[in-house]
Amino acid sequence: MQAGADELSSGAGQLADGTAEFKKGTAKLAGGAETLYDGMYAFNRDGIQKLVSSLSEMDMDNMIARLNALSDASAKADFIGGKADDMKGESKIIFKSGAVKAQ
């Protein structure tokens, strides 16, 4: 019976040690979760929302129409102004956009 009591006492000590380690681990996890939350909040505020705001300010319909027209024009194999049947060559379309500035 003494052997069983000793084993129970040893197990209780191990449980106490494990509980302390578990408490440390949960504290570390809570700190990491808070750091992750802060980082995701900043990413949303400084990255995603800024991008959405910039896109909302643009005239997207006009931009899409211009890109579609550019795509249609670039699909043509001949010169934009045309070429004689006996001529060889190709045309290149150069797209000029406004300046891209970091904010």
Model pLDDT for residues 42-73, shown as the tens digit of each residue: 999 998 888 888 776 677 777 788 888 877 87
Any idea where the domains of the chain sit in the sequence? 2-74
pLDDT category, 81, cuts 50, 70, 90?
A: low
Burial 64-95 (b: 16+ CB within 10 A, else e): eeeeeeeeeeeeeeeeeeeeeeeeeeeeeeee
Model pLDDT for residues 21-42, shown as the tens digit of each residue: 999 999 999 999 999 999 999 9
pLDDT at 77 over 60: no
pLDDT category, 100, cuts 50, 70, 90?
A: low
